[in-house]
Chains A and B, each alone.
Chain A
Amino acid sequence: MRCFKKIVSFLLLLAISFSVLTVSAATALDSPELSFDSYTYWQDYAGQEKKAVYCKPMYEPSFAMDYKYLGAAELIQINDVCTDKDGNVYILDGGAGIIYILDKNYKPVSKIEVIKSEQNEEYYFDNASGIFIKDDGTILIANTDYETVLACDRNGKYLYELILPDSNIIPEDFTYAPIKVAVDAKGNVYVLSQGSFYGALLYSPDNDFLGFFGANTVASTVGESLKALFTELFMTNEKKALSDSKLPYQFVDLCIDKENFVYTVTGVTDSTSIEVQKGQVKRFNPGGVSVLGKDDFNYADATVSKVLNVTKAQDLMGIAVDDNNFVYVVDSTYGRIFMYDRENQLLCVFGGGIGRGNSLGTFSLPSAIALNGDDVLVADGELNRVTVFKITEYGRLVKKADNTVISGYYDKCKEDWLQIMSLDKNNQVAYKSLAKIYLSEGNYDLALEYAETGYDKQTYSLAFKSVRREFLVKYFPVIFVLIIVLIIVLVVSVQRASKKEKNVIKNQKLRTMLNCLIHPFEYFDRVKYKDEGSVSGAFVLIAIFYCTTVLKTTAGGFLFTDYDPAEYNAFLKFIQTFGFVFLWTVSNWAVCTLFGGIGKLKEIFVVISYALMPLIIYNALFLGLSHFFVANEVGFLTVFNVVSLLYSGILITVGSLKIHDFSFGRFVGTALLSLFGMVVVVFLIFISATLVQQLGGFIVTVASELIYS
């Protein structure tokens, strides 16, 4: 029979090996109107930081400006695109050192190939990386290779240059290679230099160097801090010089809003992470202090992709902000544009291509982003074209409504949000906004409904507090009387039962089990010496513990639980409950046997299971109270949790002392060893599983060789 099983297993493996993957073809419900999927992320959805969902497009690609459009023979490398206050568009072909100027209707007007001074000196800007147009029409060119910021007018007339200033602040080894430049409303000039981790070089309106502005900070762990302290205290200067130092990453683009706050974007914030980056976008106040407070937030996609075994790392490299502080950042690896509002809520993601885009609206290598009114312009340095995205009617509506609600004018945007909701049921911001609006109107039921759907726990909590208050005001006398009556009935029943010495519970083992909770010393003693421990009762307790643990998540109050059926891992819970009990039982038995413990396997199992009772009670309490408490009352639940955990610990301790006949010290020692034993068992299980997996892979490989040879 075993042989038969092996053959069947082999055949199954073989059959599995025939199935490989491809990706589905189109369905009737999927149409390629746009060359990319329009989606957004729900934030904090059921405990997930980001959940991708389809959404109605807020932007659609309108047209692309390529060499033909610009009337050029060819474009070498578009490095930047920029607009001025009148809507004129400037496209920098850095590869060729040419600026193409278009009017606000995107009609090519002129181009600048060389900048000439009054003395007819010629200035070239091939390989320039960035441009900026000041309100007075001055064009600033981050002339990277020439180590200057070149200023000229629309006709290519030389005005001035910003060179590396002579200042004590600037380190000796500093390389001045400007890549981006921006000017605030006061005329201060911010220059990003290639490889500079000190922040932007800040020049006054009179072009005097003022110092460095803003900078990324180095995030360090406790271990790293201790290491740094050790280095500082005990190492020689030579050794210090040789040790690695962790430097912050440089900004790759910046822009300035109308309040003179500077937005920066950093492509890579953690080179050790091949997964997602975090804190890529920063907003600095005019004093250079970061005020966004979202250093642990990933501004790009939720995860990264691997293509042909190579991880495609995220790389946010362009940023733009409009007058209402809607922020647009572009990921050059994935070709996506992420649009955030000023409260850091993602509104939509558009664009695409994942480095191989060719169709309108997708990209190979986005190099810059700019705004022209409602239009979003994205330059592609590989395809050498600038794509113009137009806002859709839906997008316009969302921007208008979002701006109004953030400004606090709840009464002015309700109809807009309802319309948005009718067009796109997947708009989380709409749910949140409507929840706030209904809360402000005092319509708590609707506020609760929308806040729950939109995972807005803050608004939900406020609305629920009001609902609860109304409920209590209305029903307090009834509830009070009911509680008093219940207490009286309970007290009288207990007194009567004790007078008659009547046992309500007939089963002795069950009685022992319940009494272990109140009189652990006495009743665990009975478990040991009168054999009153019940294995079946223990199993029932574990099962109840599992069920209440699951229910705590799946049926607990909205404010205190995060439950997504698609993501919920019941197996993990199962391991956490049953697995823990069984592992402890086996490990503790093995350890205690060696150390002279007299407890039997069954008794250990009974003790650990009975010790779950406080946790079961806590779970039950949580289930009930989580529907009644509001967010700032979470402390009560935490206290209950701690008490239940401590009580369980006490039960395990007392039970173990009794069944093994140990001293307290010996119990602590064996308990620690038992925990270590559990880790060893888990490790062995992991190793075994890996070996089985490798064996399976080997068999599949052999089978493949046999089949395809």
Chain B
Amino acid sequence: MKLNKGSLLTVAVLCLSVLFSSCSVASVETKLYKTPEEYSISEDFTVADTGDYSLDFIEDMASVVLRNKEGEIVWSTSPIESYEERLDEYGDPIPLHSKVKSAIIIEYIEPGTSKISTAYSFKECAGTGSYSVKEIADGIEITYYFDEIKISVPVEFTFKDNVVRISVEPSRITEGEYRLYSIAVAPYSCGIYNLSQNGYLFVPSGSGAIIEPCQLEEGSLTYSRELYGDDATRYRERELDTEKYPENRLAIFGAKIYDDSAICAIIEKGAEHAFIEAETGAVNTGYSSVWAKFALRAYQWSKIRNEQQVKLYSKSMSQDTVTVAYRLLSGENADYVGMADTYREYLISKYGMKPQNADSLLNLKIVGGANITETFLGFKYDKFFSATTLDQAENMISEVKPLVDGKITADLIGFGKSGIDVKTIAGGYTVNSDLGGEKALKTLADYAKENDCKLFFNADVLGLSKSGSGVSKASDTALSQDKRKIKQYYYNLYLRKKTTEHTPYLLVARKLIPDITEKLAVSFSDIGIHGFGLDTLSTVCYSDYTDSKYFSKGNMANDVGQAIKSIKEKGYAVAVNEANDYAAANADIIYDLPLTSSKNNIFSFDVPFYSIVFKGYIPLSVESLNLTSNADNMLLKAAEVGAGLSYTLVNNGSTKLFDSFSSVFYGSVFEDIKPLIEKDIEKYQNDFKLIENAKISNHSILENGLHKTEFDNDVTVYTNFAQNALSVNGRTVESGSYLFVRE
């Protein structure tokens, strides 16, 4: 084939245009900052009044407070306790730090250096009078003008249905040379005094964690983690991650202020942009608090000279409105259980979550296979290692089913074309022929139906490392804010750095998620399975800068919710794994229920908040007992919250699987695990029946250390995690044991 110069040029131009068009990212211009000619400042006035409460504007703070009908302040953007006069050692009133008195705190990017600095609304706006107020329905809008850095932020404060809502619409933010990175909304509204005896902060880390306030002689303890985990489209940063921890999965935080009052803050809009932050011990502020910071701009780590890493911030800002709703809890509700109840009500109203009465005691994860490396005359090739065929899976189910009086659940993981490895999207929407193919799956599905087993087929609908099944690696993947396709690498086991031993994969373009899930449901329509396991979809949250609505992880909750709904509309159930709230609320079973927090230095102890929210509504299952460090402890945790048991199983183990990225193969061989299953089921089955489908009505940690869980069917469970036997009501609970009591 001979090509002339003209043809060559045309080909080149076409290729370049295709390449660049596939790499185009959306951009949104921010309005230009303009100092108003005159600030519309007002004196204190009531902006909303419901009879029981009134929301009042306070001029000297440029903020609002909520008063009850007795005129007492019950909520404010500053800690409630800060309205009680505190005196120093000389008898003088202790002045409040401007951070504590600020309605918002912003972080902005300095031009040129990209350094992040902080500005406080109290100091920069209230103190200088550079703000404007405007009455709106049920509330007030205060625009904070940070004149020095030329950024203005309009913030809406409303009070309706006994809920204070604070909203920010990024589309109305104006900027000059300095660009806004994040807004922390009412950072000290959930504040408590550092020396408070009864107060605590609640953080949704994993299962949920409590921070008891403290006062240090210098410095402070801080916490900052993204809600729903790190943005998977952000590269490099994971290289610096040196720990494994459960992420913040629920869009809620709060504080118990006094014995009979607490504040529960729910992030109603823009939760994907949120970081949950907390601080305690700071002597300069005197208060501890937990709040939500919304990162409206994304950043990427980028190499500059000498391989130094710098953060590059996106030009465009997310346009999603962010809203935090504050609810007051009082009396017996003023604790983390009350917060869980409130949050559950919110999920019910938002996602239509309802009790399923479908708890199952035994929940299996059966692993199909993985690719291993073999050589032919020294040259490497991938060979599929069949860890469990579908026939073997049927045998496993048939062997354990008689142990259980009721339904069991089985999630088939890694039964797609490439096993547990990520290749074509959703495992190619097919069943690996080495494992038996679709025919064998149909046989298994029929068997499962006849034998009261809910069979899920797990598929990764987000990752791909090969084009195919209608999704191209070249054009159908998500882009980062600097127009790059982001490779998802696996960790090196001991250095926790990226490894090239396993093929990295890409994340699919966000806009394709609904189509892919729909296609998955259609592809398996004749098989007869109960549902799909969508673990990555339920846990991974990421941006895609091809469309402004996906900036900074935007709209992930909505998209995933829609995707799950579309599957459910086709009659399938959905199994999720350690899921974010938006996926968990729509699911039919939650595997790997978070039962610990990230055990951060700042946390005082864990609480089973996640379980309290979902128990009785969505069936729960703990982490696989055969892979935990302490199976007895896991059983104890299951008993504490009434969750089902889980086991990860394979039929054939081999040291050939050493090089698999997965950590499950060392202890999952069914023949070895079966006695463990039998022992656990025998121990737990009758107790589980007592709390099957029941909801948790209360939870507490008694003074002697016993954990007490009360269910709504009058069953109480005492669990003893201590090293010694403990007693309650004249009955002894041995160390590492539990006691079921019907009150």
Q: Which residues of A contact B (CB under 8 A)?
A: 1, 3-4, 7-8, 11, 14-15, 18-39, 42, 51-57, 60-61, 66, 68, 73-74, 105, 301-305, 307-309, 334-336, 349, 352-362, 383, 385, 392-394, 421-426, 453, 546-547, 550-551, 553-554, 565-566, 568, 570, 573-574, 707-708
Q: Tell me if A22 and B485 are in contact (CB < 8 A).
A: no
Residue B659 CB within 8 A of the other chain: yes
Residue B665 CB within 8 A of the other chain: yes
7 A-B pairs within 8 Å (CB atoms) are namely A18-B483, A21-B235, A24-B463, A24-B490, A29-B367, A37-B663, A105-B723
Distance, CA A383 to CA B458, complexed state (A): 41
Q: Tell me if B659 and A566 are in contact (CB < 8 A).
A: yes
Q: Tell me if B483 and A707 are in contact (CB < 8 A).
A: yes
Distance, CA A14 to CA B485, complexed state (A): 12
Residue B484 CB within 8 A of the other chain: yes
Q: Tell me if A11 and B15 are in contact (CB < 8 A).
A: yes
Q: A25-B232, A28-B536 are in contact. Are A38 and B245 (CB under 8 A)?
A: no
Q: Tell me if B217 and A37 are in contact (CB < 8 A).
A: no
Distance of B32 from chain A, by nearest CB (Å): 23
Q: Taking A20-B236, A23-B238, A31-B592 as given, write out 7 further A-B residue pairs in contact, using a Cβ cutoff of 8 Å, ordered by the A residue number.
A: A18-B485, A29-B413, A37-B244, A359-B601, A424-B667, A425-B669, A566-B380
What 7 A-B pairs have minimum CB-CB distances, sorted nearest first? A570-B378, A22-B235, A422-B672, A23-B238, A28-B535, A57-B629, A360-B599
Q: Tell me if B8 and A3 are in contact (CB < 8 A).
A: yes
- Residue from B309, B484, B542 within 8 A of A308 (CB atoms): B309
Q: Tell me if A35 and B599 are in contact (CB < 8 A).
A: yes
Q: Tell me if A307 and B486 are in contact (CB < 8 A).
A: no
- Residue from B23, B242, B411, B600 within 8 A of A18 (CB atoms): B23
- Residue from A30, A35, A74, A421 within 8 A of B245 (CB atoms): A35
Distance of A330 from chain B, by nearest CB (Å): 15
Q: Tell me if B577 and A424 are in contact (CB < 8 A).
A: no
In the complex, which residues of chain A have a beta carbon less than 8 angstroms from the beta carbon of B487? Answer: 19-22
Q: Tell me if B662 and A30 are in contact (CB < 8 A).
A: yes
Q: A27-B536, A361-B599, A453-B655 are in contact. Are A393 and B632 (CB under 8 A)?
A: yes
Q: Tell me if B3 and A308 are in contact (CB < 8 A).
A: no
Distance, CA A304 to CA B494, complexed state (A): 9
Q: Tell me if A7 and B239 are in contact (CB < 8 A).
A: no
Residue B346 CB within 8 A of the other chain: no
Residue B596 CB within 8 A of the other chain: yes
Which B residue sits closest to A45, measured CB to CB? B658
Which A residue sits closest to B674, measured CB to CB? A422
In the complex, which residues of chain B have a beta carbon less than 8 angstroms from the beta carbon of A32? Answer: 206, 244-246, 598
In the complex, which residues of chain B have a beta carbon less than 8 angstroms from the beta carbon of A35? Answer: 243-245, 598-599
Q: Tell me if B482 and A708 are in contact (CB < 8 A).
A: yes
Distance of B215 from chain A, by nearest CB (Å): 9
In the complex, which residues of chain A have a beta carbon less than 8 angstroms from the beta carbon of B246? Answer: 32
Distance of B240 from chain A, by nearest CB (Å): 6
The B501-555 residues at the A interface (CB cut-off 8 A) are 501, 504-505, 533, 535-536, 539-540, 542
Q: Tell me if B600 and A7 are in contact (CB < 8 A).
A: no
In the complex, which residues of chain B have a beta carbon less than 8 angstroms from the beta carbon of A385? Answer: 601
Q: Tell me if B375 and A28 are in contact (CB < 8 A).
A: no
- Residue from A25, A31, A37, A423 within 8 A of B494 (CB atoms): A37
Q: Tell me if A393 and B216 are in contact (CB < 8 A).
A: no
- Residue from A20, A26, A51, A360 within 8 A of B235 (CB atoms): A20
Which A residue sits closest to B631, measured CB to CB? A393
A-B contact count (CB 8 A): 270
Distance of A564 from chain B, by nearest CB (Å): 9
Beta-carbon contacts of B705-743 to A below 8 Å, as 1s and 0s? Answer: 000000000000000000100000000000000000000
Distance of B373 from chain A, by nearest CB (Å): 5
Residue B684 CB within 8 A of the other chain: no
Q: Tell me if A309 and B243 are in contact (CB < 8 A).
A: no
The B563-602 residues at the A interface (CB cut-off 8 A) are 577-578, 591-592, 596, 598-601
Distance, CA A494 to CA B598, complexed state (A): 80
- Residue from B214, B504, B648, B723 within 8 A of A29 (CB atoms): B648
Q: Tell me if A424 and B666 are in contact (CB < 8 A).
A: yes
Q: A34-B629, A56-B666, A73-B217 are in contact. Are A353 and B15 (CB under 8 A)?
A: no
In the complex, which residues of chain A have a beta carbon less than 8 angstroms from the beta carbon of B367? Answer: 29
Most buried by A among B15, B630, B673: B630
Distance, CA A234 to CA B306, complexed state (A): 45
Q: Tell me if B375 and A570 are in contact (CB < 8 A).
A: yes
Residue B374 CB within 8 A of the other chain: yes
Q: Tell me if B504 and A21 are in contact (CB < 8 A).
A: yes
In the complex, which residues of chain A have a beta carbon less than 8 angstroms from the beta carbon of B496? Answer: 37, 305, 352, 354
Distance, CA A358 to CA B539, complexed state (A): 23
In the complex, which residues of chain A have a beta carbon less than 8 angstroms from the beta carbon of B669? Answer: 422, 425
Distance, CA A56 to CA B663, complexed state (A): 10
Residue B137 CB within 8 A of the other chain: no
Residue B493 CB within 8 A of the other chain: yes
Residue B12 CB within 8 A of the other chain: yes
Which A residue sits closest to B628, measured CB to CB? A33
Q: Tell me if A53 and B658 are in contact (CB < 8 A).
A: yes
Q: Tell me if B373 and A425 are in contact (CB < 8 A).
A: no
In the complex, which residues of chain A have a beta carbon less than 8 angstroms from the beta carbon of B375? Answer: 554, 565, 568, 570
Distance, CA A221 to CA B403, complexed state (A): 67
Residue B90 CB within 8 A of the other chain: no
Residue B258 CB within 8 A of the other chain: no
Q: Tell me if A30 and B229 are in contact (CB < 8 A).
A: no
Distance, CA A51 to CA B491, complexed state (A): 15
Most buried by B among A22, A383, A565: A22
Q: A4-B11, A18-B484, A359-B243 are in contact. Are A28 and B577 (CB under 8 A)?
A: yes
In the complex, which residues of chain B have a beta carbon less than 8 angstroms from the beta carbon of A453? Answer: 655
Most buried by B among A32, A68, A74: A32
Q: A11-B15, A565-B374 are in contact. Are A28 and B629 (CB under 8 A)?
A: no
Distance, CA A31 to CA B658, complexed state (A): 18
Q: Tell me if B491 and A24 are in contact (CB < 8 A).
A: yes
Q: Tell me if A426 and B498 are in contact (CB < 8 A).
A: no
Beta-carbon contacts of B180-224 to A below 8 Å, as 1s and 0s? Answer: 000000000000000000000000001000000010111000000
Q: Tell me if A28 and B505 are in contact (CB < 8 A).
A: no
Q: Tell me if B486 and A20 are in contact (CB < 8 A).
A: yes
In the complex, which residues of chain A have a beta carbon less than 8 angstroms from the beta carbon of B665? Answer: 54, 425-426
Which A residue sits closest to B230, measured CB to CB? A25
Q: Tell me if A24 and B235 are in contact (CB < 8 A).
A: no
Beta-carbon contacts of B445-475 to A below 8 Å, as 1s and 0s? Answer: 0000000000000101001000000000010
Distance of B631 from chain A, by nearest CB (Å): 8
The B32-47 residues at the A interface (CB cut-off 8 A) are none
Q: Tell me if B490 and A52 are in contact (CB < 8 A).
A: no
- Residue from A26, A66, A308 within 8 A of B539 (CB atoms): A26
In the complex, which residues of chain B have a beta carbon less than 8 angstroms from the beta carbon of A358? Answer: 243, 600-601
Q: A38-B629, A56-B667, A74-B217 are in contact. Are A309 and B16 (CB under 8 A)?
A: no
Q: A26-B539, A358-B600 are in contact. Are A68 and B214 (CB under 8 A)?
A: yes
Q: Tell me if A39 and B578 are in contact (CB < 8 A).
A: no
In the complex, which residues of chain A have a beta carbon less than 8 angstroms from the beta carbon of B631? Answer: 393
Q: Tell me if B243 and A392 are in contact (CB < 8 A).
A: no
The B665-682 residues at the A interface (CB cut-off 8 A) are 665-667, 669, 672-673
Distance, CA A36 to CA B496, complexed state (A): 10
Most buried by B among A4, A20, A26, A33: A33
Q: Tell me if A37 and B488 are in contact (CB < 8 A).
A: no
- Residue from A11, A29, A359 within 8 A of B420 (CB atoms): A29
Q: A22-B236, A566-B373 are in contact. Are A33 and B599 (CB under 8 A)?
A: no
Distance of A300 from chain B, by nearest CB (Å): 10
Distance of A709 from chain B, by nearest CB (Å): 12
The B306-320 residues at the A interface (CB cut-off 8 A) are 306-309
Which B residue sits closest to A563, measured CB to CB? B375
Q: Tell me if B663 and A54 are in contact (CB < 8 A).
A: yes
Distance, CA A244 to CA B250, complexed state (A): 62
- Residue from A22, A303, A307, A392 within 8 A of B630 (CB atoms): A392
Which A residue sits closest to B502, measured CB to CB? A24
Distance, CA A335 to CA B242, complexed state (A): 10
